[in-house]
Each structure stands twice: as structure tokens, then as C-alpha cells.
């Protein structure tokens, strides 16, 4: 339930960064001095040329990240049915810091002062289109899977009748135990594609998400197998067929 706090922080903080980057991209304003200081501290050359449409790519990824946080916040508030499980204080603090850091990571992929001056139509590339399409596809499936999990605890009228665990069926649940975790990985991969595929920093973020979600998926998969003797044996934990 307290994961909701993560998305509140993400919506506010990444929305704030999105406004600044939007103003820099379309209004020609310079990024604030504290952002330039952060760039300098992280080793980013503030005078480097904006090659490869870095401003627009970062703006698009930051928008996708913000929309992802908005959707997850809405799902936490109005879709998901949480049990009485608790979160460790260390994990809670780390989660809050993560959603602040991940937006800042996107922002630090662009130079602070020099832009390429291209019009919007000249900045849209093939990898932007592929990345956004993959993002939408993965987001739709993640929402469907979260709705399936929530409906296991509701009656047909939508009233919550149980907080116990049940075996989910439908959509990507037919292939893996935790398709919502797999979809989360695909969402971050789609952002890596949107950034131009070659961005090593964001692929490090993807690797973190991969190991984090894979660990959670394996633990959940083992729980299902222990708790339900008739659990489908063909299902994998995290990635279909793997």
C-alpha cells in the first residue's frame, strides 16, 4: 500500500523536471543553475553539443516516466486491492530516493546550454516511434494484469470480499507468474530505445530494474508453487519460455 507514496513523489518531482525541460526545449530557456551544478557534479560537460536530438529524446522519456507514474498512482488508488503486507523501512526510503534519482538521470543526459536548434518535426526519429509504441503496448498489458489481480479479491459487483491470494488467469498470466513485473521491464526497455538505444547510463537503469523485478518474480513464483498444489507447471517466473 505504501508504494503509493513512491508514485506521489514521482508525479510531483518528475513533473517538475518535465516542466523545466519543456521550457528549455520549446521556449529556449536555460536550465536552472542548480541543474547545471548537478550536471557538473556528475561529469556532464555543460558546453557539449546536442548531438542525436538529446533534448527531445530526454523530454520524451521524462514524459513517459511521468505518465507511467501517473498511471501507477491511479492504479494504487482505484484499482489495486492491497493485503496487510508491510514494507521494510530501508526499502521504503530507497524507493522514495529511486524515483527522485531516475528522473534526474534522464535530465542529466542532455547538455545544459547548447542545443541543436532543430524544429520538432526534424527531431522525431524512428527510435522514438518504436519506443513509444512499445511503451504503450507494455503499459496496457501491465494495467490488464494488475486489474486481473485486483479482481481476484472482488465480487462481480466490484466489492472487496477477500484479501487472500488466488491463482490468476488471463492475459500474460498464462505464460508467467508475474507478468506485471515483466511489463515493468519492457517499459524501461522502451525508454532505453526512445533515448536512442546507445545510452549506456539508461541501460544501467534497465539492468537494475531487471534484477529487481526478476528477484521479486522468482520469490512470488515460488510462493505460488508452495501455496497451490495445482499451480500450472508450464508457467515461468518472469520471462515467457525462460
- Report whether pLDDT(114) > 70: no
Evaluated on CA atoms 173, 175, 178, 184, the torsion sign reads negative
Residue 102 has which C-alpha cell? 531516475
Amino acid 23: pLDDT: 86
* pLDDT tens for each residue of 75-93: 999 999 998 889 999 999 9
Q: What is the rounded CA–CA span in Å between residue 241 and residue 110?
A: 38
Q: How many residues does the chain have?
A: 242
* pLDDT tens for each residue of 156-173: 899 999 999 999 999 999
- Report whether pLDDT(127) > 70: yes
Share of the chain above pLDDT 90, in %: 72
Range with the lowest mean pLDDT among 36-40, 142-146, 176-180? 36-40
- Report whether pLDDT(38) > 90: no
Range with the lowest mean pLDDT among 122-126, 145-149, 232-236? 122-126
- Report whether pLDDT(117) > 60: no
Amino acid 153: pLDDT: 96
| Other beta carbons within 10 Å of 34 | 8
| Average model confidence (pLDDT) across the chain | 90
- pLDDT-based confidence at residue 225 (cuts at 50, 70, 90): very high
- pLDDT-based confidence at residue 50 (cuts at 50, 70, 90): low
Show the 3-state SS of the chain: CCHHHHHHHHHHHHHHHHHHHHHHHHCCCCCCHHHHHHHHHCCCCCCCCCCCCHHHHHHHHHHHHHHHHHHHHHHHHHCCCCCCCCCCHHHHHHHHHHHHHHHHHHHCCCCCCCCCCCCHHHHCCHHHHHHHHHHHHHHHHHHHHHHHHHHCCECCCCCECCCCCCCCCCHHHHCECCHHHHHHHHHHHHHHHHCCCCCHHHHHHHHHHHHHHHHHHHHHHHHHHHHCCCCCCCCECCCCCC
Q: What is the rounded CA–CA span in Å between residue 146 and residue 75?
A: 8
- Report whether pLDDT(136) > 80: yes
82 burial via Cβ count (<10 Å: 0-12, 13-18, 19+): middle
Quote the pTM value.
Answer: 0.92
| Interaxial angle between packed helices 89-107 and 54-78, expressed in degrees from 0 to 180 and rounded to the nearest 10 | 150
Share of the chain above pLDDT 70, in %: 90
- Report whether pLDDT(113) > 90: no
- pLDDT-based confidence at residue 122 (cuts at 50, 70, 90): low
Mean pLDDT confidence for 59-64 = 96
Amino acid at each position: 500500500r505504501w508504494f503509493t507514496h513512491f508514485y506521489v513523489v514521482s508525479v510531483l518531482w518528475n513533473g517538475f523536471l518535465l516542466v523545466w525541460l519543456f521550457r528549455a526545449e520549446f521556449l529556449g530557456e536555460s536550465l536552472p543553475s542548480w541543474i547545471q551544478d548537478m550536471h557538473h557534479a556528475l561529469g556532464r560537460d555543460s558546453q557539449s553539443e546536442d548531438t542525436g536530438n538529446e533534448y527531445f529524446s530526454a523530454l520524451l522519456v521524462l514524459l513517459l516516466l511521468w505518465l507511467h507514474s501517473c498511471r501507477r498512482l491511479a492504479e494504487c488508488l482505484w484499482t489495486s486491492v492491497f493485503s496487510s503486507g508491510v514494507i521494510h523501512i530501508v526499502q521504503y526510503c530507497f524507493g522514495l530516493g529511486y524515483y527522485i534519482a531516475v528522473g534526474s538521470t534522464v535530465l542529466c543526459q542532455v547538455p545544459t546550454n547548447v542545443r541543436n536548434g532543430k524544429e520538432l518535426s526534424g527531431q522525431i526519429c524512428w527510435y522514438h516511434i518504436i519506443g513509444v509504441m512499445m511503451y504503450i503496448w507494455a503499459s496496457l498489458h501491465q494495467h490488464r494484469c494488475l486489474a486481473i489481480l485486483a479482481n481476484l479479491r472482488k465480487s462481480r459487483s466490484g466489492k472487496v470480499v477477500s484479501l487472500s491470494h488466488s491463482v490468476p488467469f488471463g492475459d500474460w498470466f498464462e505464460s508467467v507468474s508475474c507478468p506485471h513485473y515483466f511489463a515493468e521491464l519492457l517499459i524501461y526497455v522502451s525508454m532505453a530505445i526512445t533515448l536512442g538505444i546507445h545510452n549506456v547510463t539508461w541501460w544501467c537503469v534497465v539492468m537494475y530494474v531487471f534484477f529487481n523485478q526478476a528477484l521479486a518474480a522468482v520469490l512470488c513464483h515460488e510462493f505460488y508453487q508452495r501455496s497451490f498444489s495445482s499451480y500450472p507447471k508450464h508457467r515461468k517466473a518472469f520471462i515467457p519460455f525462460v
